[in-house]
Amino acid sequence: MEKLTISAIKADIGAVGGHTKPSKEVLEEVIKTVKSNKDIIEDFYVGFCGDDIHIIMTHFNGINNPKVHKIAFDAFLNATEIAKNQGLYGAGQDILKTAFSGNIKGMGPGIAEMEFVERPNEAVIVFPADKTEPGAFNLPLYYAFIEVSRSPGLILSPSMRKGVKFVIMDVSYTEKDKIIELYTPENYIDIASLLFNPHRFVVESIWLRENNEPIVSVSTTRLHNIAGRYVGKDDPIMIVRAQKPFLATEEICSVFAIAHYVGGDTRGSHNMALMPVKLNSQASTYLCNPMVSCIVMSIKNGKITSYIDGFDDPIFDEIRRKASEKSFYMREQGFIMPAMLPMEEIEYTALKEKIEELEKKFTTR
Ligand SMILES: [Mg+2]
């Protein structure tokens, strides 16, 4: 059976009047470029979450395919020209290299990919997020794939009962991808011990233990590792396969009801509550509250036959209120940690340099 690949590629190439959302013209240009390459791919979906544009492509070319990666890269590059002409803020900010070298990894845009034999009713959920980092998915994934009290499928599904493999990446290591493979149920304390630090250890993928089928894929780019300087947080995107033999769609989406605190927000330097938002939401001008959106789709013969907005229902209106409240509470304490991230995660150097200068003036008595 031919394997289908889903490639979800995202980039911030400029937004209106700050880090808000892309312009209509920029989006149209992205769609135009992707459409003109329809001979390479089966189908596509383009949208945005805050200032990040995501291109989701289905195709039969496998993961890390240069032709497919180039479609996204060209789309972002062409649209960057429009963003520059419109004076959009941060035009081309995630395009760190302009000469395409065969793989979009390491060039700036974030990418999550997954390859599998399509089920008769393939249910796939894509979660694009903004104003946060890939480790933002650590806690939701822990709850969905390890914590039985939040995820009934872990005891009700015969396949899920056999456990999963977590592939966790140490994103502090910059030379190569450095990963560890751990298995549920027996390694769950070790998994938790790593997920504890979402700035360093990030779930890269999850696989069904029973047959090694891929279930989850998360973009794990660290932009500052590529650029060598702060160029914005690494707003992530995640692909999850749902329904039999995996978890139910609602078991996966409901773990975002925690609205847990994640790193990101203004200047990528704060902790605020991750808010599940509707598709194509602009970023909040309230200190760039972190956000995640949810595209729930059906795929048949490689085509995205239909999709719904996974966070567009009254329950998630309540979660949005809860997230607002949690963020307000955190912001009440201004710049004092944990409202602001620890120094090693603040990627502006001015504060660090000033502290180093003041350290020299300390005296002992
Ligand atoms: Mg962004």
Q: Using one digit for the tens of pLDDT, what is the confidence trace for 118-159?
A: 999 999 999 999 999 999 999 999 999 999 999 999 999 999
Phi, psi of 322, rounded to the nearest 5 degrees: -65, -45
What is the spatial distance between Cα 189 and Cα 195, in angstroms, rounded to a whole number? Answer: 10
User: Is there a catalytic annotation at residue 12?
Assistant: yes
Strands 164-170 and 179-183, by their bridges, are: antiparallel
Ligand 1 centre to CA of 7 (Å) is: 19
CATH of the domain at 80: 3.30.70
| Range 189-204 average pLDDT | 96
Are 311 and 294 spatial neighbours (Cβ–Cβ below 8 Å)? yes
Point out the catalytic residue in the list 12, 51, 52, 234: 12
Are 127 and 237 spatial neighbours (Cβ–Cβ below 8 Å)? yes
Q: Are residues 187 and 275 in the same domain?
A: yes
**Residue 335 neighbours by CB under 8 Å, 6+ apart:** none
The residue among 89, 116, 143 that closes a domain is 116
Dump the DSSP string for 140-199.
Answer: HHHHHHT-TTT-THHHH-HHHHT-EEEEEEETT--SS--EEEEETTTTHHHHHHHHT-TT
Q: Are residues 358 and 285 in the same domain?
A: yes
Q: Are residues 188 and 332 in the same domain?
A: yes
What is the domain extent for residue 267?
118-365
Q: Are residues 166 and 223 in the same domain?
A: yes
pLDDT digit string (tens) for 15-67?
A: 999 999 999 999 999 999 999 999 999 999 999 999 999 999 999 999 999 99
Ligand 1 centre to CA of 130 (Å) is: 5
Ligand 1 centre to CA of 363 (Å) is: 42
Ligand 1 centre to CA of 283 (Å) is: 8
pLDDT digit string (tens) for 256-299?
A: 999 999 999 988 899 999 999 999 999 999 999 999 999 999 99
Point out the catalytic residue in the list 51, 233, 235, 307: 233
Ligand 1 centre to CA of 235 (Å) is: 5
User: Is there a catalytic annotation at residue 230?
Assistant: yes
What is the spatial distance between Cα 116 and Cα 121, in angstroms, rounded to a whole number? Answer: 13
Residue 201 CA to its chain's centroid (Å): 14
